[in-house]
Chain A
Amino acid sequence: MEQRDIIHQYLKELERYLARLEKAQAQEVLKEIESHIFDALEQQQGSGLTEDAKAILQGFGEPRELALAYIAHITTGAPPPVGFKAIQKVKQGVTVTLYYAMAAFGFSIALALFFIAGAEVIMPDSVGAWSAGNGHSLAIGFFATPYPADQELLGAWLAPIAILSALLVSTLTRRVLRALKHQR
């Protein structure tokens, strides 16, 4: 390519990236850089070197990068670091996964509690909360061969308590989900 063509192509590209500046400002920048390039080109000739526009343009860097340095004061704050988009994506991915995992986890616990409450009403004999192993563990659920009734802890109270717990768990879940949504 002809030296001048290379230069004009560079300036044209730079002009495109300077579009965020006011027209007069952008033209001023272009005029100065153009003046520099042709001056430098003449100096190369003057000192007996072969014209090398590419070498001069290399000092200016990519048109996009150069333009960014000129418009940095317009774009609020510092330009985002390289790789920023990827981080956002990972962050968003984490949040989305967490959001649905949270929903599944919370609501299934609430549903199970509701289920126990309902079952307690329908077949009170085989559903209940028992203390087992001398109080070392607690069993809630329903069993084919129920524990002796006198070891049952809550009796008929299990149903209202289970319903209350279910409501509490689902409310909490909804609150957490709302908080997660705000984070996105």
Chain B
Amino acid sequence: MLYILLCNAKYNSSHGYFMTTAEKEEKTQEKWEVQLRKGTLELVILAALQHRTLYGLELLKLLQSFKSAAITEGTLYPLLDRLKREGIVDAQWVQEGDVRPRKYYSLTATGHHKLADLITLWRQSVLDVEFLLAHPGPDALPVQGE
């Protein structure tokens, strides 16, 4: 019995360490604004590239002109790299005149489909939140549906 208890104590303590650290880490990152920006980032980038071809710096300046989409170079470029690997965006080096070559990004067919999916999710999410906000208590929520 004692053996089992000792084993359990050891098991629990090691797992306990993991839990608390993970939770602490979560806590510091759990600023809602940061989470929201993170969650919408992919949608924002795909929307910015909709029927538009932009190079990195251009895209960055565009995103930074919006309060909710201000990200850094260090976030944007690795993300573009991932989107390219996933076949969502395409990239091409273009040299215009005597300026240095720039890498231009555009949506692929897959990217357009992905954008359509994300738009549906986003709009539903906004509708749901707005619905709740428009119907505060204490009255019961009206049955949803048009």
Contact = CB atoms under 8 A, between A and B. Distances in A.
Interface in B1-33: 3, 6-7, 10, 13-14, 17-18, 21-22, 25
Given A36-B60, A61-B72, A61-B74, 20 more contacts: A29-B77, A32-B56, A35-B100, A36-B77, A40-B57, A59-B72, A60-B73, A60-B74, A66-B77, A69-B74, A70-B78, A72-B78, A73-B85, A81-B21, A87-B17, A94-B10, A98-B10, A172-B3, A183-B10, A183-B14
B137 to A, nearest CB: 40
Interface residues of A, number: 35
A64 to B, nearest CB: 11
B101 interface: yes
B77 A32 contact: yes
A99 to B, nearest CB: 10
Contact of B21 (A56, A65, A69, A87): A87
Interface of A: 29, 31-33, 35-36, 38-40, 43, 56, 59-61, 65-66, 69-70, 72-73, 81-83, 87, 90-91, 94-95, 98, 102, 172, 176, 179-180, 183
Q: What 3 pairs between A and B have smallest CB-CB spacing?
A: A69-B78, A61-B74, A59-B73
Interface residues of B, number: 27
Contacts of A90: 17
Nearest to A97: B10
Contacts, number: 75
Contacts of B77: 29, 32-33, 36, 60, 66
B121 to A, nearest CB: 24
Given A59-B74, A87-B17, A90-B17, A39 B102 contact: yes
Nearest to A25: B81
A183 to B, nearest CB: 7
Interface of B: 3, 6-7, 10, 13-14, 17-18, 21-22, 25, 56-57, 60, 72-75, 77-78, 81-82, 85, 100-103
B126 to A, nearest CB: 30
Contacts of A179: 7
B103 A32 contact: yes
Contacts of B78: 66, 69-70, 72
A65 B74 contact: yes
